[in-house]
Chain A
């Protein structure tokens, strides 16, 4: 069995399970006692472990195993979930994610910092209440470390049984000696700020500081590795010192870019010798904690503090839909063959009419109904729910909110809405940008919100719904809204708008300026959203998917981004028309109208043919000439002109005649024709022939020395 063949599947399934885990962890955060959630988490971790082990990924298997052990405690009720648990579990998820990345990019796991394992171990080192009789032999008794924010807990210690395995014999001897002499031995866990640029330098400073306080016994990773930056953001240093814990803690916390410092004193005592330290820092979700509601399913279940009975919540949560993984190429082939079938069906229908054979007609009609159903079904196979892409946001929002210190209710609606698979895959980045924008720029800090008479906790809504032939995705916040004046000023400054134009534009129009490249209203470069490079990139991406994006905003009330996407990427409503003897297609959305133009009304501006459309002079493009077809033999008195648009630009395209308006299946031209420009693809007509679908933009670009006019305002 060649494991490499399964790598793709492994990665996909692992990612799915991790997304599930992350969401369940978030749910757990809000419902620490819900056994159904715990069960789900346990199951997902277990699955991950199994897959990793089968594929031979040791690190991943070990980590998930450690997580399983920890989670098992919760499952058995031997510990309660608190902030430290959540932090550790999330950190484990991050480590897993990092390792998975290594597998995806390099085919190899990234090593996992030993610290994570230590943290996980520490979680299961004490029960929440004294149960000395039920302790198993492997159980350790030292209590979990206190969370930074809770100050009242007794100082946690590491018992011998616990710390002994963390050091080698030599180090152990040194520690024992030191303790006997009355010195303190501290195991210091440092977590650097994620934004630290020179980690090695920072780590060195920390190392030096600790070194000044006493004698360092051990550094994990080693000082060499620290200097070579072979570590993530965490490291552990063990030191012998006379200083107090508070002194050490304070000294180290003062060092910039140090996010967290945990100091654990080592003691000689073993577990049998002392009473269990029962002080367990209360499940203090610190005041700043944002409440995050990952999905609608969770809503009914979210009751603070109550223990749910397993049956109903389990039924809700594990909606086991039977699924099958299908090779995308096979599906494509299936669809191609099927469209051929549809064409032949059309032909049969015609034949049945011609031959006037009623029996044949009946059979063909039945066949039509069956093939119609099949057609809908096949198209729907490519549809996946947007849930897969929306799922990654709750976690990201939670982390971001913590960083920003803002309070926001994050709600996702309509995750079950379906879209073509390729579109869903591409949505992640633009949505992430919009969400970050909302969190960073849109939503105000709690203090500011209160000042504006708004509730402290803001709202961020991500919703998806289907309407007609489109799917809409909205990102809405109740933040500060967009300051149109500021945008105007910036636009003028950047030379994007003239003062005159800016003054005349409505606020709604002004918002469109935000989509122009190189625009940013933020003075300082925000870490999260970068230099405001977001919105124009978002717009381009959405448009490349055949969609549109619009902004609606009200100063003080909030902002709404609405993305409109076609239901299916490859189905396009088009206009079929003839130029010469050849049939072409254009997306209907790019055609404003069709006009019949009397030949005598063709004007010439410079050398450019043009015509007057209700007071506006538009350039005229001769379709035949453009496509390299011989000019018409006879002189017509009237021309059929399609008025095309590209953004704000307009022009008229002279064609021979309009054939029809219909939905077509857009097919790619393939690799060999990759470099052919001017066509977005091709479609297969009812008679089996191929018609090229023209890329509207090509008419608007300079071609063969023609130049297109800037539009001239003409008052008629």
Chain B
């Protein structure tokens, strides 16, 4: 039962993902990170924040940051519309709401069929775990850990932490 060849181990199980759209493209994130999908309420702006950080929202009593995934991936920004949704993800220790143009279905992806990312846009390559073709649809699987912990955020954190040590908050 145990596959001793470690290289193949990760590919033996199918991945369950949630499909969503950004502009006309199909993207996916691993379902294990997703807490819920919500409509977008009112977002409170954070002054001086990076452009992709839209602000914060009230999610059942928890103040949650909102990230415009299009901007984060380097795609062109667009205004919010009726179909826009928030995908609430939890990638420890972060709790973040991602703005997407629509959230569709849950799909099973056969990990063997994942291929490395072609050049979609220079900015987004590091965030992509791979692409897969299912029934003629090209789906881009995102690596959420990289999306949330990218070098820009990390560098910023480092710089700030050095200059001003931040106190750990007691909880969320």
Residues of A within 8 A of B (CB): 328-329, 332, 335-340, 422, 544, 569, 582, 626-628, 667-679, 681-682, 684, 688-692
CB neighbours of A329 from chain B (8 A): 171
- Across-interface contacts of A626 in B (CB, < 8 A): 47
With A337-B60, A670-B172, A672-B96: A682-B47 Cβ-Cβ less than 8 Å: no
Known: A544-B167, A672-B96, A672-B148. A678 touches B61 (CB 8 A): no
A-B contact pairs, 24 of them (CB 8 A): A332-B172, A338-B61, A422-B170, A569-B170, A582-B45, A627-B47, A667-B63, A668-B170, A668-B171, A668-B172, A670-B95, A671-B93, A671-B169, A672-B65, A672-B95, A673-B65, A675-B153, A675-B157, A675-B166, A677-B160, A684-B58, A688-B58, A690-B63, A691-B44
B77 is an interface residue with CB less than 8 A from chain A: no
Q: Are B60 and A336 in contact (CB under 8 A)?
A: yes
Which one of A340, A679, A690 lies within 8 Å of B57 (CB-CB)? A690
Partner pick for A672 among B57, B58, B94, CB 8 A cutoff: B94
Q: Are B58 and A689 in contact (CB under 8 A)?
A: yes
Q: Are B65 and A670 in contact (CB under 8 A)?
A: yes
- Would you call B42 an interface residue if the criterion is a C-beta within 8 Å of the partner chain's C-beta atoms? yes
A339: chain B residues within 8 A (beta carbon): 61
Residue B56 lies at the interface, judged by CB distance under 8 Å to chain A: yes
Give the docked Cα–Cα distance between A239 and B131 (Å): 80
Inter-chain contacts of B62 with A (CB < 8 A): 336, 667, 670
Q: Give A690 to B161 CA distance when docked, in angstroms.
A: 26
CB of B56 within 8 A of CB of A340, answer no
Query: B130-172: which have CB < 8 Å to A?
Result: 148, 153, 156-157, 160-161, 164, 166-167, 169-172
Interface string of B68-111 (1 = CB under 8 A from A): 00000000000000000000000001111000000000000000
C-alpha spacing A628/B167, complex, angstroms: 26
B120 within 8 A of A: no
Is B23 on the interface with A (CB-CB < 8 A)? no
A551 CA / B56 CA spacing, docked (Å)? 41
The 8 A-B pairs at the shortest CB distance, nearest first, are namely A336-B61, A668-B169, A690-B44, A671-B93, A672-B94, A332-B171, A627-B47, A675-B160
* Chain A residues closer than 8 Å to B53, beta-carbon distance: 673
Do B65 and A669 touch across chains, with their CB atoms under 8 A apart?
Answer: yes
Most central of A422, A676, A684, A689 by chain B CB within 10 Å: A676
Q: Which residues of A contact B166 (CB under 8 A)?
A: 674-675
A691: chain B residues within 8 A (beta carbon): 44
Q: Which residues of B contact A582 (CB under 8 A)?
A: 44-45
Q: Of B41, B45, B56, B58, which contacts A669 at CB under 8 A?
A: B56
Query: CB-CB < 8 A to A679: which residues of B?
Result: 46
The CA of A338 and the CA of B55, in the complex, are separated in Å by: 23
Are A675 and B161 within 8 A (Cβ)? yes
Least CB distance, A494 to chain B, in whole angstroms: 25
Given A422-B170, A689-B58, A670 and B63 contact (CB-CB distance below 8 Å)? yes
**Is B124's beta carbon under 8 Å from chain A?**
no
- Chain A residue with minimal CB distance to B48? A628
Instruction: Name the distance in Å between B45's Cβ and chain A's nearest Cβ.
Output: 7
Nearest CB of chain A from residue B152's CB, rounded to whole Å = 11
Q: How many angstroms from the CA of A340 to the CA of B58 in the assembled complex?
A: 9
Q: Is there contact, CB below 8 Å, between B63 and A682?
A: yes
Give every chain B residue within 8 A of A673 (Cβ-Cβ).
46, 53, 56, 65
Contact A670 B157 (CB under 8 A): no
In the assembled complex, B122 has its CB within 8 A of some CB on chain A: no
- Interface status of B16 (Cβ within 8 A of chain A): no
Q: Inside 8 A of B65's CB, which chain A residues have their CB?
A: 669-670, 672-673
Given A340-B60, A671-B93, A684-B61, 15 more pairs with CB closer than 8 A: A329-B171, A332-B170, A336-B60, A422-B170, A670-B62, A670-B63, A670-B65, A670-B94, A670-B169, A672-B65, A672-B96, A675-B157, A690-B55, A690-B58, A692-B56
Question: Among B60, B169, B171, which residue has its beta carbon within 8 angstroms of that of A328?
Answer: B171
Q: Are B49 and A676 in contact (CB under 8 A)?
A: yes
Chain B, Cβ-Cβ closest to A674 = B166
Inter-chain CA distance A628–B166, complex, in Å, is 24
A674 to B65: give the CA distance in the assembly, Å.
11
Task: Tell me the complex Cα distance, A332–B95, Å.
Answer: 15
- B residues near A667, Cβ cutoff 8 Å: 62-63
- With CB as the reference atom, state the residue of chain B lying closest to A682: B63
Cα A337 to Cα B49 with chains together (Å): 28
Give min CB distance, B66 to chain A, whole Å.
10
Say yes or no: A690 contacts B56, CB within 8 Å.
yes
Residue among A569, A674, A689, A691 with the highest chain B CB neighbour number at 10 A: A674
* B60 touching A689, Cβ below 8 Å: no
Q: Determine which of A335, A678, A684 lies in contact with B63 in the assembled complex, contact meaning CB atoms within 8 Å.
A: A684
Measured between beta carbons, the chain B residues less than 8 angstroms from A332 are 170-172
Rounded to whole angstroms, the CA-CA distance of A628 and B47 in the bound complex is 6
A536 → chain B closest CB, angstroms: 16
Decide if B64 touches A677 in the complex (CB within 8 Å). no
Q: B42 — which chain A residues lie within 8 A by C-beta?
A: 689
Residues on A with beta carbons closer than 8 Å to the beta carbon of B161: 675
Q: How far, in angstroms, from A668 to B23 measured CA to CA in the complex?
A: 33
Q: Are B46 and A692 in contact (CB under 8 A)?
A: yes
**Bound complex: CA of A691 vs CA of B42, how far in Å?**
11
- B58 cross-chain contacts in A, Cβ below 8 A: 684, 688-690
Contacts of A681 in B (CB 8 A): 63
- Which residue of chain A has the shortest Cβ distance to B49 in the bound complex? A676
The residue on B at minimum CB distance from A672 is: B94
Given contacts A340-B61, A672-B148, contact A678 B169 (CB under 8 A): no
Residue B44 contacts which of A544, A628, A672, A692 (CB distance < 8 angstroms)? A692
- Nearest-neighbor residue (CB-CB) of A689 within chain B: B42
CB distance from A99 to the nearest CB of B (A): 29
Q: CA of A670 to CA of B166 in the docked complex: distance in angstroms?
A: 12
Interface residues of B in 27-42 (CB under 8 A from A): 41-42
A374 to chain B minimum Cβ distance, whole angstroms, is 14
State how many angstroms separate the Cβ of B106 from the closest Cβ of chain A.
25
Cβ-closest chain A residue relative to B97: A672
C-alpha spacing A627/B55, complex, angstroms: 13
In the complex the two chains form, is B60's CB within 8 Å of A676's CB?
no
List chain A residues, Cβ under 8 A from B164: 677
Q: How close is B24's CB to chain A, nearest CB, in angstroms?
A: 28
B50 to chain A, nearest CB (A): 10
Q: Tell me the minimal C-beta distance from B4 to chain A in angstroms.
A: 26
Selected from A328, A569, A675, the residue in CB contact (under 8 A) with B156 is A675
How far apart are the CA atoms of A689 and B65 in the complex, in Å? 13
Which one, B46, B47, B63, B157, contacts A674 given CB within 8 A?
Answer: B157
How distant is the Cα of A218 from the Cα of B171 in the complex, in angstroms?
A: 55
Whose C-beta in chain A lies nearest to the C-beta of B167? Answer: A544
A399 to chain B, nearest CB (A): 31
